[in-house]
Structure 1
Amino acid sequence: MQASDFPTFPPEQVKLGQFLFFDPILSGNRNISCATCHSPDHGSGDGLPLGIGEGGHGVGPKRNAGAGEDRIKKRIPRNAPALWNLGATDIHTMFHDGRLHVSDLYGNGFNSPAQEWLPDGLESVLAAQALFPMTSEFEMAGNPKENQVAGAVYDRIDNVWPILAKRVRVIPDYAEMFMAAYADVESPLDINIVHIANAIAAFEATEFQSFDSPFDAFLAGDESALSPEQKAGMALFYGDAGCAACHSGPLFTDQEFHAITLPHFGPGRTRQWDPIVRDVGHMGVSDRIEDAYRFRTPSLRNATLTAPYGHNGAYATLKGIVRHHLDPDAGFANWSPDEVQLPDVPWLQKADFIPLQDKRERERQAAAGDLEPISLSDAEVDQIIAFLQALTGTDSIKGRLGRPESVPSGLEVD
C-alpha cells in the first residue's frame, strides 16, 4: 500500500472531522461519540468482544454497563470493527454482514439499511457508514423515551439526521469551521448531515492510514525488516496455511463473506422473524440461504492491536483465532465461555450463552462452515503469529491529529 491508495482531503475538513469524531453531540443523549467505541488507545476499537453502547461509562475494556434506569439494556451484538485503512479507495463494503456497500441500487451510490432514504452527496462508503451508529438505539441514539433523536428513528431513519445537523450548526465554532471547509456552505443553515459524515470520513481516512509495517519495509526491499521466523510465517500464510485465500491483497481482505464456524453468544443480530436468538451474518442482508453464517473478511493490518478477534470477539488472542481457522470444527465444538472476556453485566449474563445450548442451531452453524482443517505444528502456528505481528504499523499507529483536548460543543471528550 501507499499514499496514492487513499484520497486526500483539505486540512480544514480533516480537523473538522476530528472534532466531530470525538464529540458526543451526535448521540441522542449527548453522552457517546464515535471515539467511544473506536478509540485510538485501543487499536481503533474498544477492546471488548461485544461493545457497551448507550448507557455505559468509560472507554475501552474498562467501560462499564452503567447503573439505574440509564444502564444498558442490551450488549452491542457484534465486535466493534477496527478503522485501519477503511478510507482506502478500494474499500467497497462495510459492517461484518456487509449491509452497506457501494451500489447504485437506490440511485444514491450505496445499498444500505436506509435504502432510498440515504442522502445524496456522500463521498465514500466510509462516510455512509458514519451515519448508521447515530440511528441505533443501543449504540448512539438511546431510548425513544429519552430524546428526540431516538424517537425519530421509529418514524423513518432519515428523520434522525436533520436533528443532529441542527445541533451542530447552531454551535458558532462549528458553523465557522464548516464555512471554511466546504465551498457550498455559505451560512450555518447550509450545513447538513452529508457535510458532517464526509468530514468524519475525511478524519478517519487520514488518521487511520497504516502501511508502514515491517512487512511493507520488506516489500520495499529491506530483507532485514522481517526475522527468519516472520519469513517462515509469511511462507505459510501465502502457502500451506491458506490464509491468503481470503486475507488477500494489500488490505489483507478480499471483502467477501465466509463462514468460519465461530460460536454464537450474546444477543446476536436477530432478524425480525427469527424464532430464536442467532446471527446469520450476510444472509440477513442477501436473503440467500447459502450466505448463512458468513461474515466479511477483516483486514489483518494492525491485527496485534485489535483484540479480541472474530465478528463477536470470540477469541481474546491471535493464537486462539489462528488455531480456530486451522480446525474450525474442533474450535467450534470445544469453545467455552472462558475464551471470551465479556464485561460484567449481571442483569444480562443469564442470557449471554443461551444460544450455545441450542443443539439444532449449532448443527446448522457447523454444517455451513467453509474452511477445511489444516494440520500445522505448534512451531508453525507461532511462525504465522510472528508474521501477523509484522503487519503492525510503526509511526502510523501513533496517530496524526489524535484526540483533541476539547470539542466545540463543550461536552466531555472520551
Structure 2
Amino acid sequence: MGHNLNADNWGVHSATEASLLSGELLFPLPEPPTDLDYREKGSPSAAKIELGRMLFFDKILSGNQNISCATCHHPSAGLGDQLSLSIGEGGNLLGLGRDTGEGLDAVHERVPRNAPDIFNLGAKEFVTIFHDGRVQQPFKNKNFFVTPAGETLPSKLENILAAQALFPVTSATEMAGQMGENTIANFAAEKDFTSIWNALAERLRSIPAYVSLFEAAFPKIKNGSNELTFADAANAIAAFESQAFRFDNSPFDAFLRGDDDAMTVDEKMGMSLFYGEAKCASCHSGPFLTDHQFHATAMPQIGPGKNHGTSGREDFGRGAITEDAADNYKFRTPSLRNVALTGPWGHDGAFSDLKEIVIHQLNPFDALAYYDRTQPVLTGRSDLDAIDWIAMDDAVAVDQLADACQIEPVNLEPDEIDQLVSFLYALTDLRALDMTDIIPSSVPSGLPVAD
C-alpha cells in the first residue's frame, strides 16, 4: 500500500505545516521499487557482472582504443560526464577536464546529445532506450527489439539493455572513430554493424584473460557449443549495468515505505506540488518517475544537431525515427531518480542548473524566449563553438520548436519552485554519492582505466 497522505501521518508538528501539506494530490504516489521490478530479480550471475564491469571500463571496445563506455558514463560524474554535449572519440581525460584532442586525431564534432543517465535501467519497465527511442522492445515479455540494425541484430540478446549496448561502438563520434583511422571506423562509415561487432569480438577472443571471463560467464562458450560473440559482450555489459547502477532507495522511497521523517517539510511540499498543482507527474510517473513516452517541451537546441532542419543543426528527436513531422522535437521522458546527480539536463544538456530546467518545464514558452546561453557546459574550441548556436539563432526554427511544445504553463511562486527542487534532491539514493568502488584498477586489455 502507498503512504497514508493524511497530514497527521506526515511527521509534521505545527498546524501551519499540517494545513500546507494536507492538499489533495492530482496524481497517485508510486510504490517504491522492489527486486521484482528488475530483470532476473536484480541478481544476474556474479561472473557475468564481473565480465561486464571489465568491458564497461575497457577502451578495447573503441575503434582507436582510446575511449570506453565509462568515459561518458563515469561513476565519479553521476554516471555521466558533467558536460552538456560529450566529447567522444579523440578526446582526452574525463568530465569537466576532457579536451577535444590534438591534430588529426582531434574530435570532429561534439556528440550531438547529452549522455543519458543510466541509473536503474535493469528495471523491466525500461523498454525504450536513447533520447529518441531508437531502441525499443515493443512487447514486454518477448525478446524482440526494434533497432537501427533491423534484421541484422544478433539473436542472442537477453534484454533491451543488451540491445542498447551494441550501438555506441558503431558511432564514429562516440567510439568508432573517423573513416580511415581504423577498420572499425571504416565499417562504421558504411553502417556495417555486423562487421563492427565481429571485429570487436575477434579482439576480445585474442585476449586470454577475456576468454577466461567469457567462459566463466557463459558455460556454452566454455564447453565449445557457442563461439564468443559481441552479443555475449553486450549481455554482460547489461548485467553489470543492471546490478551496479541500481540506486533506488532515496528519502522519497523511505517516506513511501512509512518513514514520516525521511523527508523535510520543504521536500514534502515539493512532492505535493509535483503530484499536484505543478502536474510534473503527468509525465514523470510510476516508480521510476517516467511514463517512457515522448514529449515536446521546447528544449533549447544547441550543438551540431542531427542533420535535421534547413540548417542541419536541429534535432527532430522522435520525429526522425517515426518519420512523422508530428513527432518532431519530442524526446523520451527521463527517469528522475538521482536526477540531482545527472546534470546537465535536457536531451542536449541545455541546462546546468536544476532549478533553471524546472522553471523551463513549468513555462517553456517564456523560458525559451529568454534562454540563458551561459547554461550549457561545453568544452571550448573555436570551430565547434561556431556551430553551437546556429539552431537557436534561426528564428523560424525557434518558432517551430515553440509551436510543437505540448506543455501547458503552470504559474508557481518562487518559494514553490524551490520546494519542487528540494523534492528532486530527495530522489537521490545517498549511496550514489560515492560510486568509486565500482571502478576497476585494471582491465584485461592492459589499456589504461584512468585518463
Q: Which residue number in structure 2 is paired with residue 231 of structure 1? A: 268
Work out whether residues 45 and 217 of structure 2, in 8 Å CA contact, stay in contact via their aligned partners in 1.
yes
Question: Aligned to 1:289, which of 322, 325, 329?
Answer: 325
Supply the AA of the counterpart residue of 2:92. H
Report how far residue 68 of structure 1 moved: 1.0
Cα gap change, 1:34 to 1:228, in 2 (>3 Å): same
Question: Aligned to 1:334, which of 342, 346, 370?
Answer: 370
Report how far residue 294 of structure 1 moved: 0.4
Note the alpha carbon deviations across 1:1-60, whole angstroms, 9 max, x for none: 122212221100000100000000000000000000000011111110000001100111
Question: Aligned to 1:295, what secondary structure does the other structure show?
Answer: strand
Matched, 1:74 2:74: no
Work out whether residues 300 and 350 of structure 2, in 8 Å CA contact, stay in contact via their aligned partners in 1.
yes
Work out whether residues 18 and 401 of structure 1, in 8 Å CA contact, stay in contact via their aligned partners in 2.
no
Question: Aligned to 1:316, which of 352, 356, 368?
Answer: 352
Report how far residue 103 of structure 1 moved: 3.3
Partners in 1 of 2:384 and 2:325 — Cα distance? Answer: 30
Work out whether residues 210 and 397 of structure 1, in 8 Å CA contact, stay in contact via their aligned partners in 2.
no
Q: Which residue number in structure 2 is paired with residue 408 of structure 1? A: 444
Q: Which residue number in structure 2 is paired with residue 390 of structure 1? A: 426
Work out whether residues 211 and 396 of structure 1, in 8 Å CA contact, stay in contact via their aligned partners in 2.
no
Report how far residue 277 of structure 1 moved: 2.0
Aligned CA RMSD, in angstroms, stands at 1.6
Partners in 2 of 1:187 and 1:167 — Cα distance? Answer: 21
Report how far residue 187 of structure 1 moved: 6.3
Report how far residue 154 of structure 1 moved: 3.3
- Summarize the alignment of residues 103-114 of structure 1 with structure 2, pairs less than 5 Å apart: 103=138, 109-114=144-149
- Summarize the alignment of residues 233-252 of structure 1 with structure 2, pairs less than 5 Å apart: 233-252=270-289
Supply the AA of the counterpart residue of 1:287. E
Work out whether residues 76 and 434 of structure 2, in 8 Å CA contact, stay in contact via their aligned partners in 1.
no
Matched, 1:62 2:97: yes
Report how far residue 118 of structure 1 moved: 0.9
Q: Which residue number in structure 2 is paired with residue 222 of structure 1? A: 259
Question: Aligned to 2:222, what secondary structure does the other structure show?
Answer: coil
Question: Aligned to 2:386, what secondary structure does the other structure show?
Answer: helix
Cα gap change, 1:403 to 1:169, in 2 (>3 Å): same
Partners in 2 of 1:339 and 1:29 — Cα distance? Answer: 32
Partners in 1 of 2:229 and 2:360 — Cα distance? Answer: 45
Supply the AA of the counterpart residue of 1:146. E
Partners in 2 of 1:194 and 1:290 — Cα distance? Answer: 35
Matched, 1:149 2:181: no
Q: Which residue number in structure 1 is paired with residue 393 of structure 2? A: 357
Partners in 2 of 1:343 and 1:74 — Cα distance? Answer: 11
Q: Which residue number in structure 1 is paired with residue 236 of structure 2? A: 199
Report how far residue 245 of structure 1 moved: 0.4
Supply the AA of the counterpart residue of 1:203. F
Partners in 2 of 1:158 and 1:184 — Cα distance? Answer: 22
Q: Which residue number in structure 2 is paired with residue 370 of structure 1? A: 406
Q: Which residue number in structure 1 is paired with residue 61 of structure 2? A: 26
Work out whether residues 81 and 95 of structure 2, in 8 Å CA contact, stay in contact via their aligned partners in 1.
yes
Question: Aligned to 1:133, which of 168, 178, 181?
Answer: 168
Identity of aligned residues (%): 45
Q: Which residue number in structure 1 is paired with residue 30 of structure 2? A: none
Highest CA radius of gyration, 1 or 2? 2
Work out whether residues 49 and 243 of structure 2, in 8 Å CA contact, stay in contact via their aligned partners in 1.
yes
Matched, 1:190 2:232: no
Report how far residue 194 of structure 1 moved: 0.8
Q: Which residue number in structure 1 is paired with residue 36 of structure 2? A: 4
Report how far residue 140 of structure 1 moved: 0.2
Partners in 1 of 2:377 and 2:216 — Cα distance? Answer: 45
Supply the AA of the counterpart residue of 2:200. L
Question: Aligned to 1:51, what secondary structure does the other structure show?
Answer: coil
Structure-1-length-normalised TM-score: 0.96
Work out whether residues 75 and 436 of structure 2, in 8 Å CA contact, stay in contact via their aligned partners in 1.
no
Q: Report the count of equivalent residues.
A: 411
Work out whether residues 108 and 119 of structure 1, in 8 Å CA contact, stay in contact via their aligned partners in 2.
no
Work out whether residues 17 and 201 of structure 1, in 8 Å CA contact, stay in contact via their aligned partners in 2.
yes
Question: Aligned to 2:157, which of 122, 139, 163?
Answer: 122
Question: Aligned to 1:116, what secondary structure does the other structure show?
Answer: helix
Partners in 2 of 1:230 and 1:385 — Cα distance? Answer: 8
Note the alpha carbon deviations across 1:65-115, whole angstroms, 9 max, x for none: 1111111110000000111011111110000011110037xx971111111
Report how far residue 400 of structure 1 moved: 8.6
* 5+ residue gaps, structure 2: 1-32
Work out whether residues 172 and 189 of structure 2, in 8 Å CA contact, stay in contact via their aligned partners in 1.
no
